[in-house]
Structure 1
Amino acid sequence: MTAVLFDFSGTLFRVESTESWLRATLDDAGLRLPAPELAETAEALQRAGALPGGAPPLRVPEELAETWETRDESSELHRAAYTGLSRQVPLPDPGLHDALYERHMSPGAWSAYPDAAEVLGALRGRGIAVGVVSNIGWDLRPVFRAHDLDRFVDTYVLSYEHGIRKPDPRLFGVACAALGVEPGRTLMVGDDRRADGGATALGCAVHFVDHLPVAERPAGLRPVLDLVP
């Protein structure tokens, strides 16, 4: 292998809990909810699937179905999909729906998995090219910079910047071309068997990790080092 491509959410990073997301947004707005109401509202937002990178919606409203299916193809669609889901839940101020969306893009909303720096650093030390390939509607580069992981990444290929989303093999092809590597000598690491598994159509090898809370997956990325000697 000469290169490794990584997914973002659920692979290298994990988004905060829905309750933490809501609490931080309320704090920024100078608002408070009683603890029981905070927990109840957070649970409703989680059921709605309003937190990008969090739990998927239990049900997508009919009026959002088309937007939901194409959400990762542009920043406008991504925002419309997730704020649309958020608006299924009453909040103390209508402006909080957009504020919640803004919060999830902030570096503080994300935690790197404990072994991410170790694994990325080891790959860099071996001369292995590293790319990040993500279905997303916003620029995640500031998250990597804030967590000091940007120095290990050679290229970012984000669906909204190309109008293509995984599992379309063209997105993985963009990453391989940017790194100047052959797909047959490239490993894709992700947590979504359908989306990330699309890399096999291009000839890449694929390795899957479990999308678990950070504390529950302290060493889930380390097997990658055995696959890229």
Structure 2
Amino acid sequence: MKAVLFDFSGTLFRVESTETWLAAVLDRAGLTLPEGELGRTARALERAGALPGGAPPEAVPGHLADLWATRDRDAASHRAAFTGLAREVPLPDPGLYDALYERHMTPAAWRPYDDAADVLAGLRERGVPVAVVSNIGWDPRPVFRAHGLDPYVDAYVLSYAHGIQKPDPRLFALACEALGADPRETLMVGDDRRADGGAADLGCAVHFVDHLPTDQRPDALRPVLGLAGR
């Protein structure tokens, strides 16, 4: 493989836990919840799928179904879908719903997987170009910069910027074009069998990793070095 495409969330980075996410926003707002309520509220938000990059919704409310299906095609839809899910859970201040969404876009909310830097650096040393291809409603470049990974990424191909979301092969085609790469010599690495698997329809090879907490997935990206740069 002469080029590599990576997904963002669940592949190179993992978002913070729902409880940490909620606690950070409450603290910033100067609010507290009664003893035991923080955990219960965080679990309700997790069941609702309110944290982008976190657990998917257990059930999408009917009034959000159409929006959910196309949430990654533009920034406004992404925000509306996730704040809509969050509003299914009562919070002590209505301003918290937008504050939660804003929090998830900050570098502090994300941690790279332990092997991400080494694998990206190894690809750079071999002269293998890299693109990030993500279904997302915002620009993750500040996250990559804050964690020191931006120098290893040659292109970012983001669904909301193109109005196309994975598994549509057109998004992967744009990434290959940005790298000047032949899809037949390109590897897509992701955690979503359906979304990231769409690269196979373009002719890319696909390598899957599991969307796990960082402490449970220390080296799942390392096999990429054995697949690329030959």
Q: Determine if the TM-score, normalized by the shorter chain, exceeds 0.5.
A: yes
Q: Which residue of 2 aligns with 1:218?
A: 218
1:44 is aligned to 2:44: yes
Q: Which residue of 2 aligns with 1:190?
A: 190
**1:56 shift after superposition:** 0.5
Q: What amino acid does structure 2 have at the position aligned with 1:3? A: A
Query: In the aligned structure 1, how far is the partner of 2:196 from the partner of 2:180?
Result: 20
Deviation digits for residues 15-40 of structure 1 (CA, Å, limit 9, x no counterpart): 00000000000011111113400001
**1:2 shift after superposition:** 1.2
**1:215 shift after superposition:** 0.3
Q: Which residue of 2 aligns with 1:173?
A: 173
Deviation digits for residues 141-160 of structure 1 (CA, Å, limit 9, x no counterpart): 10000000000000000000
Q: What amino acid does structure 1 have at the position aligned with 2:80? A: A
Q: Which residue of 2 aligns with 1:140?
A: 140
Deviation digits for residues 169-204 of structure 1 (CA, Å, limit 9, x no counterpart): 000000000111100010000000100000011100
Q: Which residue of 2 aligns with 1:82?
A: 82
Percent same amino acid at aligned positions?
72
Deviation digits for residues 118-145 of structure 1 (CA, Å, limit 9, x no counterpart): 0000000000000000000001110000
Q: Which residue of 1 aligns with 2:16?
A: 16
Deviation digits for residues 21-70 of structure 1 (CA, Å, limit 9, x no counterpart): 00000011111113400001001000100000000001111110000000
Query: In the aligned structure 2, how far is the partner of 1:162 from the partner of 1:219?
Result: 32
Q: Which residue of 1 aligns with 2:119?
A: 119
Deviation digits for residues 206-229 of structure 1 (CA, Å, limit 9, x no counterpart): 000011000000001001111114
1:97 is aligned to 2:124: no
Give structure 1 regions of 4+ aligned residues with deviation exceeding 6 angstroms. none
1:55 is aligned to 2:55: yes
Larger displacement relative to structure 2 (31-40 or 106-115): 31-40
Query: In the aligned structure 1, how far is the partner of 2:27 from the partner of 2:198?
Result: 40
Q: Which residue of 2 aligns with 1:163?
A: 163
Q: What amino acid does structure 2 have at the position aligned with 1:64? A: L
Q: Which residue of 2 aligns with 1:6?
A: 6
Query: In the aligned structure 1, how far is the partner of 2:218 from the partner of 2:209?
Result: 12
**Match of 1:198, SS?**
helix
Unaligned runs of 5+ in 2: none
Q: What amino acid does structure 1 have at the position aligned with 2:36? A: P
Taking structure 2 as the reference length, what is the TM-score of the superposition?
Answer: 0.99
Q: What amino acid does structure 1 have at the position aligned with 2:102? A: E
**Match of 2:188, SS?**
strand
Q: Which residue of 2 aligns with 1:130?
A: 130
**Match of 1:136, SS?**
coil
Query: In the aligned structure 2, how far is the partner of 1:96 from the partner of 1:116?
Result: 32
Deviation digits for residues 85-129 of structure 1 (CA, Å, limit 9, x no counterpart): 000000010000000000000000000000000000000000000
Query: In the aligned structure 2, how far is the partner of 1:15 from the partner of 1:126?
Result: 29
Q: What amino acid does structure 2 have at the position aligned with 1:63? A: H
Q: What amino acid does structure 1 have at the position aligned with 2:44? A: A
**Match of 2:9, SS?**
coil
How many residues are matched?
229
Q: Which residue of 2 aligns with 1:207?
A: 207
